[in-house]
Structure 1
Amino acid sequence: MVTIDREAAPATAVAAVPAVLAALAGRRGAALALGALPVAVALFFRDPDRRSDRTTVDPDVVVSPADGKVMYAGPGQDGVAPEGEWQQVSIFLSAFDVHVNRAPYGGRLREVTYRPGKWLAAYTHESAHLNERTDLVIEREVDGVTRVVHFRQIVGLMARRVVTRVAAGEEITTGQRIGLMKFGSRMDVFVPPEAELLVQRGARVVAGETVIARWPSTVGAA
Structure 2
Amino acid sequence: MRMSDTFLKPMHPEGWRFVPVFAVVTALLFWLWEPLGWLGVLLTVWCYYFFRDPERVSPARPGLVISPADGIVSMIEPAVPPAELGMGPEPLTRISVFMSVFNCHVNRSPCAGEVTAIAYRPGKFLNASLDKASVDNERNSLAIRLPDGRQLAVVQIAGLVARRILCFVKVGAPLAAGERFGLIRFGSRLDTYLPPGVPPLVRVGQTMVAGETVMADLAAHPAPPAG
Give the alignment's TM-score, normalised by structure 2.
Answer: 0.85
190, 198, 202: which one aligns with 1:199: 202
Q: What is the Cα-based RMSD across aligned positions, in Å?
A: 2.1
Residue pair 2:66, 2:211 contacting (<8 A) in 1 also: yes
Q: By how many angstroms is 1:82 displaced?
A: 6.4
Q: Encode CA deviations 1:80-116: one digit per residue, 9 max, x unaligned.
A: 9962241110111111111100000111100011111
Residue pair 2:198, 2:217 contacting (<8 A) in 1 also: yes
Tell me, in whole angstroms, the C-alpha distance in 2 between the residues paired with 1:28 and 1:105: 49
Q: Encode CA deviations 1:139-162: one digit per residue, 9 max, x unaligned.
A: 0233xxx12110100010011111
**Aligned match of 1:121:** 127
Note the 1:1-222 alignment, pairs <5 A. Answer: 2-25=9-32, 27-28=33-34, 30-52=36-58, 57-76=60-79, 83-142=89-148, 146-216=149-219
State the AA in 2 paired with 1:155: A
SS of corresponding position for 1:97:
coil
SS of corresponding position for 1:179:
strand
State the AA in 1 paired with 2:176: T
Q: By how many angstroms is 1:29 displaced?
A: 5.1
State the AA in 2 paired with 1:113: A
Q: Encode CA deviations 1:161-196: one digit per residue, 9 max, x unaligned.
A: 111101111011010001111111011000122212
Cα–Cα, structure 1 residues 192 and 30, in superposed 2: closer, same or farther, change >3 Å? closer
**Aligned match of 1:220:** none
SS of corresponding position for 2:46:
helix
State the AA in 2 paired with 1:34: G
Residue pair 2:81, 2:91 contacting (<8 A) in 1 also: no
Cα–Cα, structure 1 residues 210 and 78, in superposed 2: closer, same or farther, change >3 Å? closer
State the AA in 2 paired with 1:96: F
Tell me, in whole angstroms, the C-alpha distance in 2 between the residues paired with 1:79 and 1:65: 17
User: Identity rate of aligned residues, in percent?
Assistant: 36
Q: By how many angstroms is 1:19 displaced?
A: 1.7
Tell me, in whole angstroms, the C-alpha distance in 2 between the residues paired with 1:131 and 1:32: 35
Tell me, in whole angstroms, the C-alpha distance in 1 between the residues paired with 2:121 and 2:22: 28
State the AA in 2 paired with 1:112: I
Bigger strand share: 1
Tell me, in whole angstroms, the C-alpha distance in 1 between the residues paired with 2:56 and 2:93: 25
Where does the alignment leave 5 or more consecutive residues of structure 2 unmatched? 221-227
Where does the alignment leave 5 or more consecutive residues of structure 1 unmatched? 218-222
SS of corresponding position for 1:168:
coil
Tell me, in whole angstroms, the C-alpha distance in 1 between the residues paired with 2:27 and 2:139: 35
